[in-house]
Amino acid sequence: MTTAEQNALLTQTGPGTPMGDLFRSYWIPALLAEELPQPDCPPVRIQLLSERLLAFRDSQGRLGLIDEFCAHRGVSLWFGRNEEDGLRCPYHGWKYDVAGQCVDIPSEPRERGYAQTIKLRAYPLVELGGVLWTYMGPPEKQPPLPAYEWATVPDDQRYVSKRQQDCNYLQLMEGGLDSFHSIFLHSMSASADPLLKRDPQSIALIKGDPRPSFIPMESPGGLYITTRRNQGDSNYYWRVTQWLMPCTSLFPPYKGNPHGGHAWVPIDDEHAYTFSFDYHPDRPFTQEELDAMREGRGIHCKTIPGTFRPLANKDNDYLMDRKAQKEGRSYCGVMGFGEQDAAVQESMGPIEDRSKEHLVGTDKGIIMTRQRLLKAAKMVQEGARPPGLDAASQRVRAFSSVLPRDAALHSAPEMQVTADGVEQSSAWASGQA
């Protein structure tokens, strides 16, 4: 059982908290690149890990992520003028560059040099894979840039969306790592979604054993969260989800579907961004796939124009349709995979009280995720580097495969090679997996 103290440690990510320090050890998604499309475009307010920040692109196209508020009188720089390689406060004209350095105070003599003594809190912001990433930890511990395959394929092979959700990041992430809920929550929706249709062979493999074994294991970058189904007397059908610290999951695609995953980034302790991505490692998206993703199908969802708030949200009961629920068009009455996930995850409240849970065998992956996070947070507090900062840990794929029962799981062709073509290190045997 997760204690109230552990629950607080797991869910609090503000400055100075153990979990906040863990998140600040990694590059995390901050914005979609399209939010800052060109030099001197309007700045964007953003809150990450309970810090209120402002992102902007200067006249040369350089990216900045700085404290939202002017050092003079605390005015939000969102109202500022993005001009001539800096952001100028509209109140008294103080101007800041992308590193947060004050470069001009009109009321003070330039020769006095007072502006050079003023510097706002600032974090690096880099563009990769259609996403703007930031690192919010100590500069001397900054890790290499992200190396996830989805972020490094050509642009026409990747699609990324973003939405804001009204609860703590952890219950969103735990929902994404809990594959058993698909048997119920999403059961009547997959066949109608062009991005999530299951091929006949996969359907047969799943129906061949409706009570799979859930077998999570530590990986170099987080966890392998596996389900194992009996296939006759001689084979197992494996599906392996990759959880990569601190907040990313990769789930195995069904035949013909894109690879996909999520990154859940805390806004504060009661809200989070969900970045959802689809990609093909070896081909561009078809127009039909692009149209479906833009319409909020698959793991994406429609948002209110001009915002990242889902169109179906808690204020309108996620557009609950009791008739569709009764007629079997939706198991839960909410339409859309992302909307269904949001409805149940946010129904738990802003922060779920995990001390009241009654966990069972299908929750093994969630239990190990919490343990892995707590262990990594302790490592950071002790001055050590947490797992998953290296490219080899990040350039991995989720997969599914049918293997003989006596075969080592790592012998699966899908498992032997990372996205780089480098053999993965694993000592798994089927009996241990």
- pLDDT digits 0-9 by tens, 34-57: 999 999 999 999 999 999 999 999
For residue 412, pLDDT over 70 is answered with no
Rg (CA), the chain: 23
Supply the pLDDT for residue 433. 34
Supply the pLDDT for residue 432. 36
CATH number 3.10.20.600 given to 149-416: no
Three-state SS string over 203-269 comes to HHHHHCCCCCEEEEEEECCEEEEEEEEEECCCEEEEEEEEEECCCEEEECCCCCCCEEEEEEEEEEC
For residue 302, pLDDT over 60 is answered with yes
Q: Considering only residues 418 and 111, tell me which one the structure prediction assigns the higher pLDDT.
A: 111
- Cα separation values, 277 from 116, 155, 300, Å: 41, 12, 8
In this structure, which topology does domain 38-124 adopt according to CATH? Answer: Rieske Iron-sulfur Protein (2.102.10)
Residues with Cβ within 8 Å of 374's Cβ and at least 6 positions away in sequence, in order, are: 6, 9, 10
Which tokens sit at 280?
């093909």
Model pTM score: 0.92
Share the mean pLDDT of the chain. Answer: 90
Which tokens sit at 394?
């990040």
E strand or H helix at 151: helix 149-152
Supply the pLDDT for residue 193. 72
For the chain, domain boundaries: 38-124, 149-416
pLDDT-wise least confident of 80-84, 210-214, 282-286 = 210-214
User: Taking residues 237-253, what's their average pLDDT?
Assistant: 93
Tens digits of residue pLDDT in 355-368: 999 999 888 999 99
Residues with Cβ within 8 Å of 385's Cβ and at least 6 positions away in sequence, in order, are: 25, 141, 379
- Cα 320-325-327 angle, rounded to 5 deg: 140
